[in-house]
Every structure is written in structure tokens, then in C-alpha cells.
């Protein structure tokens, strides 16, 4: 808002709106609810968000939705803002908290957590070898179809 009043500035404000990210955030956070905190699915790798941030630095955009889950939530928020605001607290409550009890914790609210310095929070399991093979086969088939289509067009 302040930048809108200034003329001739060379600053662009960009907002990155990621879905859940596999970072230690949920392990570091304060918890006064007495329920175990969890990452809301789908969980995205931190590298996906980092690449989106790098792209926005090169090509600024006002808002960038990042990761699986972000676009559907963004669409729901835009198309039905009233309903979304009424339902979101329930969705996020079920998505971010389990029914398992957890002790009260101040997390890193008042002091940094020096124990956990990992990028990953351990929420996302790596794809299995079989799944990676299937994805590689699908990707190879897609490229082959694209090449065949291009050759037929000539």
C-alpha cells in the first residue's frame, strides 16, 4: 500500500501462496491446543516452493499459488469467498491437527529451535521405485507422442 503512493520506485511486491510444505515448521511451531500438529495433505517438497520463488524473482507476478492443493483452495476462495471463510476453519482444523494428544509447547515462539536444522520435516515420503518407474514411463510415452505428432504434422 505504501509503495502505491510513491512514484518512480523500482520495487514489485509479490506474494507466494504455497500449500503445505515439507519443512520442520510443524515441529517448531507453538502448540497450545493439546492436539498433535501435522502437515495438511497434499504436502509439497520445499524445492518446489524454492523454484517458484526463484521464478517470481526473474518474472514478477502479484500472486503465485504453489504446489498441489494451492490452486483448488485459491479457486474456492475466489469463487465462493463467504462459504470458503465459513468452511476453511473446519478444513484446516481437521487437516492440521490430529486427534492424538500433544503436550503444551511454546515451540520456537520465544527461542529458536537449535536442534532441528533440516529442510525436510519428514512429512513427505519419497516416491517408491515402482512409482518412479511408472512416472518415468508415462513421461517417456508423453514425449514419444509429442514427437510423433510433430513428425506427422510435417
Calculate the alpha carbon distances from 141 to 50, 133, 144, 150, 154 in Å. 29, 12, 5, 14, 20
- The cell for 107 is 515451540
What's the total number of domains in the chain?
Answer: 2
C-alpha cell at 85: 471463510
> Is 76 a domain residue?
yes
Within 10 Å of residue 58's Cβ, how many Cβ atoms? 6
The pLDDT score that the predictor gives to residue 153 is: 63
Q: What is the pLDDT of residue 46?
A: 92
Is 25 among the domain residues? yes
- Does residue 92 belong to any structural domain of this protein? yes
Question: Do 65 and 14 have their domain in common?
Answer: yes
Instruction: List alpha helices for the chain, DSSP H.
Output: 2-5, 25-28, 46-58, 70-79, 81-96, 129-153
Q: pLDDT 10s per residue in the chain (154 long)?
A: 777 777 767 788 899 999 899 988 888 888 998 999 988 888 999 999 999 999 999 999 999 999 888 888 888 888 888 888 998 899 889 888 999 999 998 888 898 877 777 888 888 766 655 565 666 667 676 666 666 666 666 6
State pTM to two decimals: 0.66
Asked if residue 121 lies in contact with residue 38, where contact means CB atoms within 8 angstroms, the answer is no
Q: Does residue 118 form part of some domain?
A: no
Q: Which domain holds residue 99?
A: 2-112
Are residues 90 and 54 both part of a single domain? yes
Q: Tell me whether residue 117 is in a domain.
A: no
Same domain, 18 and 90: yes
Same domain, 46 and 68: yes
Amino acid at each position: 500500500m505504501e509503495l502505491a503512493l510513491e512514484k518512480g520506485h523500482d520495487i514489485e511486491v509479490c506474494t507466494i501462496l504455497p500449500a503445505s510444505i515439507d519443512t520442520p515448521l510443524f515441529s517448531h511451531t507453538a502448540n497450545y491446543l493439546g492436539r498433535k500438529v501435522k502437515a495438511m495433505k497434499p504436502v509439497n517438497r520445499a524445492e518446489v516452493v524454492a523454484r517458484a520463488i526463484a521464478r517470481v524473482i526473474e518474472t514478477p507476478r502479484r500472486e503465485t499459488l504453489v504446489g498441489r492443493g494451492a490452486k483448488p483452495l485459491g479457486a474456492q476462495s475466489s469463487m465462493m469467498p463467504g462459504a470458503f471463510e465459513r468452511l476453511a476453519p473446519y478444513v484446516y482444523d481437521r487437516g492440521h491437527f490430529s486427534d492424538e494428544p500433544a503436550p503444551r509447547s511454546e515451540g520456537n515462539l520465544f527461542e529458536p529451535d537449535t536442534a532441528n536444522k533440516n529442510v525436510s520435516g519428514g512429512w513427505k515420503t519419497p516416491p517408491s521405485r515402482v512409482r518412479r518407474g511408472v512416472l518415468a514411463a508415462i513421461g517417456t510415452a508423453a514425449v514419444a507422442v509429442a514427437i510423433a505428432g510433430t513428425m506427422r504434422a510435417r
